[in-house]
Amino acid sequence: MCVRRKPCRSITFDFKTQKCELNAKTKENTLTRYGESIVYSEFDWWPEDMDEHCFTRPCQDNEVCIPGIKLTKNGPAESCQYTCMLAGREVCPMPVGGVTAGRSVGDINIFECDHGFTGSDVAECLPNLQWNKTINRVCEVIYNHECSDVEICQPIDAICDNNKCVCNADKQYDVDRRMCLIPPCPNPPVIEGATITGVEGDTIRTYQCEPTFQPKHGISSNGTITCTSGTWSSTDFECFGIRLTQNNVSVSIPEMTVGYLEVFTDGEWTNVCRDDWTWKATVVACRQLGYNFGGSYHSDWYDIDNPNPTAGDNTYKFKDIVCTGDETSLEKCTHDRNSCNDHNKDIVLSCFNINVAAGQYVNISGGDNIFSGQVWVNIGTINQPLCKQGWKSETTEVACKTINPEWSADDKDSTTINSQEPFASEIDCDGTEPHLFFCRNQGWGYNDKSDCPSDSFITITCKLDG
């Protein structure tokens, strides 16, 4: 095959006449002929538009292809316009696959393999008009190639181990790029309740707990992980979280958000048992959920079991919880892990969306004076009485303080008849609650007539302190 570069330095081509001529002179000796229309083959490449005519030229070793003449060795040719002319000098034989830099004595031809392959070689045309070597022109993948030292492996940043080119332990072979590369960092492990800072490709990332979640108490990690050789460092970072789930809770009181309390710990959600639960624990839980005005807690919610419990075997991660009310997380309250008898002990919370202490949402009416009467709840569109079922003296004390902070109970509770539906029953206070709404009950809006017949509505008597 003829090539475009330096077919013979004794031939020039004139574009104007479309003729090639033998020239025993060099370019330097024919300056008078030099112009825009002359191509000197020993210095210039054939123009691109001649490729079609000069790419496949079957000339002899001592001949060169001349484009632009509509003659061939066998006569005219329409598709390949060339002629073969004596080169005027001796050259090395045309090697299989052609040459890259000519065949004159001293010319060096280079065979190059693509990156990631071995087999590149060079051959020189010697004064005896023979090549110093025959280039095999076979390229082989370097990875896993046999080796005696690291030299053959270096182009792909591999090592020679057990006579094979392989990647170092901290790298992996990338087939597309044909290189041993440090593997990219995968997506960090998912931690429930946490987001992670940074973007894909960062080697240092930090976990942060989502709202309503907090770093688990007692963990040693600050949440920062590092990727080395494509592997993330381990961490004991964990988020503790709580949530309210509806689970068929259909009560709609705009001033309250109601649901079964669940906590996330040790990688799973679990219900909370009511044992030892107090209004102070409710304050902590509601605050952690973003409700800063406290709330009510309910057991035997509407006299039913939790329809969709998380702990099917009645095993709870949180039980016997005791809080002071100042904790920033429910997890920081003392607690135990044990089992409850059944899921009617699952805690339900009603967290307040408003400051109930700032309004007159509890009042008495129908008594002999301002200090006595039937207890009513008046909140939003609700204006209903309360049932005496489960009511005790401590509840009266809290009710009196709720109506007027300067009042206390006079211990003269009684029942009255009312044809309306009760707003709640089984209201149970320990006497320390700041408001009647903070006391335990079976659920605001629960009005089962079998528990509270029409003659069982609470009437209380209060008095001024002192």
Taking a C-beta distance cutoff of 8 angstroms, is the pair 50, 43 a contact?
no
DSSP-assigned letters across all residues of 90-109: --PPPPTT--SS-SSTT-EE
What local confidence, expressed as pLDDT, does residue 216 receive? Answer: 83
CA angle 419, 422, 426 (to 5 degrees): 135
What local confidence, expressed as pLDDT, does residue 150 receive? Answer: 94
3-state SS, residue 330: helix
φ/ψ of residue 88, rounded to 5: 85, 5
Residue-range domains of the chain with CATH:
11-86 (no CATH), 142-183 (no CATH), 194-237 (no CATH), 241-352 (3.10.250.10), 356-464 (3.10.250.10)
Q: Is 8 exposed, middle or buried (0-12, 13-18, 19+ CB in 10 A)?
A: buried
Per the structure block, which two tokens stand in for 39?
């191509």
What local confidence, expressed as pLDDT, does residue 430 receive? Answer: 94
Of residues 302, 379, 294, the one with CA closest to residue 348: 302
Of residues 425, 414, 431, the one with CA closest to residue 385: 425
Which residues, at least 6 apart from 226, have a Cβ–Cβ distance to it below 8 Å? 203, 204, 232, 233
Please give the helix or strand (H or E) that residue 286 lies within, else none.
helix 279-288
Q: Which 8-state DSSP code applies to residue 399?
A: H
Taking a C-beta distance cutoff of 8 angstroms, is the pair 15, 37 a contact?
yes
- In tens digits, the chain (466 residues) has pLDDT values of 333 333 434 455 555 556 555 554 444 544 344 444 555 444 444 444 544 444 444 555 555 555 544 433 344 444 445 555 555 567 888 787 777 777 888 888 888 889 999 998 999 999 999 999 988 888 999 999 999 999 999 999 999 999 999 999 889 999 999 999 988 888 999 998 899 998 888 899 999 988 878 888 777 778 999 998 888 999 989 888 899 987 666 666 888 899 889 888 877 888 888 888 999 999 999 999 999 999 999 877 777 777 777 755 555 667 788 999 999 888 888 887 766 666 667 889 999 999 998 888 999 998 889 999 999 999 888 888 998 888 999 999 999 999 999 999 987 777 766 667 788 888 999 999 999 999 999 888 877 666 677 778 899 999 998 7
d(CA 231, CA 82): 63
Per the structure block, which two tokens stand in for 382?
């609700």
d(CA 208, CA 219): 13
- Answering whether pTM is above 0.75, one says no
Question: Half-sphere exposure (CA, 13 Å, Cβ side) for 136?
Answer: 7
Taking a C-beta distance cutoff of 8 angstroms, is the pair 138, 151 a contact?
no
